[in-house]
Copies of this chain bind each other. A is one copy, B any other.
Amino acid sequence: MLMYEIDRNSSDPIYIQIYQHIKEDIECGLIKSGEKLPSKRSLAENIGVSVITAENAYAQLAAEGYIRSSPKKGYFVQRLPNIPEKREASEDLAQPEEFFAQNNDVPELFPFTVWARLIREELTMKQTTLMTPAPAEGVFELRKAIAEHLKSFRNMNVSPEQIIIGAGTEYLYILIRILLGDRSLIAVEEPGYGKIADIYTSLGMRCERIPMQSDGIDVEALAASSADAAHISPSHHFPTGVVTSIAKRYSLLGWAAEGRYIIEDDYDSEFRLSSRPIPPMFSIDVTDRVIYMNTFSKSLTSTIRISYMILPMPLLKRFKERLKFFSCPVSTFEQYTLARFIESGAFERHIRRLRRYCRSKRDRLMALVSENELFKNAEVSGMSAGMHCLVKFDSILSDDELLERVKAMGLKADKLSEHYHAPPDEELHTLVIYY
């Protein structure tokens, strides 16, 4: 089933976006030559567009020779005369030994050739620039490139001045600690990504766990706590996959408006696979209470340590007062290279490639799951984004037994209960499966 994300804020017409997605999938071999495409009616339904839009997309593909229409039979992919470079990589990806490796650290997925070319060009042409120490916030070119990326990708209106570059998210937490004060109590999600609380705690801050609900963090429990800030991931919560509802987003902003802060961790927004874009809380906040945080760890590689946060104006002022004498911890060499990588469009192409990879892994996981007795009547959730899903089994097996069976299938998984600070007493029969 073809599922593509449509950006309704894009200046490109929707039919062109669909055309481009399908064209890329054909070029990289995800859709094989000779394969039958869905009817225009079912394509329209899948993506949530009109039939005429789907028809226009197919017409464009046919006009360019990617597909052909066979009367009464449907649309079929043409054999392409030349095998593009991408294809090889895509075929590599299908090797079973790396099927369930972590996406972001698969060497075949990193754009080594482009990166090597860009860094060589920077080292040749920008020697004086590279030797100029960056301001505490990071080099302007990178912050500008990120602002433009966020505009086109997340429809966020951000000034480069608000963007602070860090060496991994830990470093940003350190800055947040200095900005919010070391007496701050930070609310974190329960269950959640355990490292967040570990780092805050090791930096001498206090953390309080607030339960997750099906539409986001429990705002009543949050209000009852004395938290000064809440570190949350409204776009796609780990491990539950919950997307915070728009109503809850406004409640959270109401809570923050009374002198508190939301730290919006948008760690895997680039991996959204469904077609409904959700505006980040930063964009709907008019009271300057949201700190937006993101990283290139997932969208590029975790081994180039580049992350960033966007500060609301009052905190930006505080940053300039308290942190102006810090040195930006990221090498100028890599900041300029990444800026070029984003500006040149290579980053966007890279994300599309990662998404296709995720989508194909997700589809294969689903195929595997649908054939397996263990998964019968299981509820699978949290697949709208990211690289993991939650599976609640209809089984009398213990969590440990379930985990053992799933691992024996070659899947990477752990128990949902492991992601609780205080795990529930009963068995949850729920695993987090990574793809």
Question: Would you list which residues of chain A between 300 and 328 have a CB under 8 Å from chain B?
Answer: 301-306, 322-323, 325-328
Give min CB distance, A357 to chain B, whole Å.
14
Q: Report whether B130 and A303 are in contact in the complex, using a CB–CB cutoff of 8 Å.
A: yes
Q: Report whether B204 and A204 are in contact in the complex, using a CB–CB cutoff of 8 Å.
A: yes
**Nearest CB in chain B to that of A115: its residue:** B123
Interface residue A10 (Cβ < 8 Å from any Cβ of B): no
Give min CB distance, A226 to chain B, whole Å.
20
Q: Report whether B305 and A330 are in contact in the complex, using a CB–CB cutoff of 8 Å.
A: yes
Q: Given known contacts A203-B178, A333-B304, is B120 in contact with A327 (CB within 8 Å)?
A: no
Q: Report whether B119 and A106 are in contact in the complex, using a CB–CB cutoff of 8 Å.
A: no
Q: Report whether B302 and A133 are in contact in the complex, using a CB–CB cutoff of 8 Å.
A: yes
Interface residue A225 (Cβ < 8 Å from any Cβ of B): no
Q: Given known contacts A115-B123, A178-B202, A334-B334, is B329 in contact with A171 (CB within 8 Å)?
A: yes
What residues on B are CB-neighbors of A73 within 8 Å?
A: none
Identical chains bound together, number: 2
Q: Report whether A327 and B178 are in contact in the complex, using a CB–CB cutoff of 8 Å.
A: no
Q: Report whether B325 and A304 are in contact in the complex, using a CB–CB cutoff of 8 Å.
A: no
What residues on B are CB-neighbors of A167 within 8 Å?
A: 167, 171, 305, 329-330
**Nearest CB in chain B to that of A297: its residue:** B327
What residues on B are CB-neighbors of A303 within 8 Å?
A: 130-134, 331-333
**Nearest CB in chain B to that of A134: its residue:** B303
Interface residue A128 (Cβ < 8 Å from any Cβ of B): yes
Q: Mark A386-428, 1 if CB is under 8 A from B, else 0.
A: 0000000000000000000000000000000000000000000
In the complex, A112 Cα to B119 Cα: how many Å? 11
Give min CB distance, A138 to chain B, whole Å.
11
What residues on B are CB-neighbors of A105 within 8 Å?
A: 131-133
In the complex, A10 Cα to B204 Cα: how many Å? 46
In the complex, A104 Cα to B116 Cα: how many Å? 25
What residues on B are CB-neighbors of A182 within 8 Å?
A: 182, 204
Q: Report whether A327 and B132 are in contact in the complex, using a CB–CB cutoff of 8 Å.
A: no
Interface residue A379 (Cβ < 8 Å from any Cβ of B): no
What residues on B are CB-neighbors of A302 within 8 Å?
A: 133, 327
In the complex, A322 Cα to B105 Cα: how many Å? 25
- Given A305-B331, A331-B331, 8 more A-B residue pairs with CB atoms under 8 Å apart are A107-B131, A110-B127, A132-B303, A167-B167, A167-B329, A198-B325, A305-B328, A330-B331
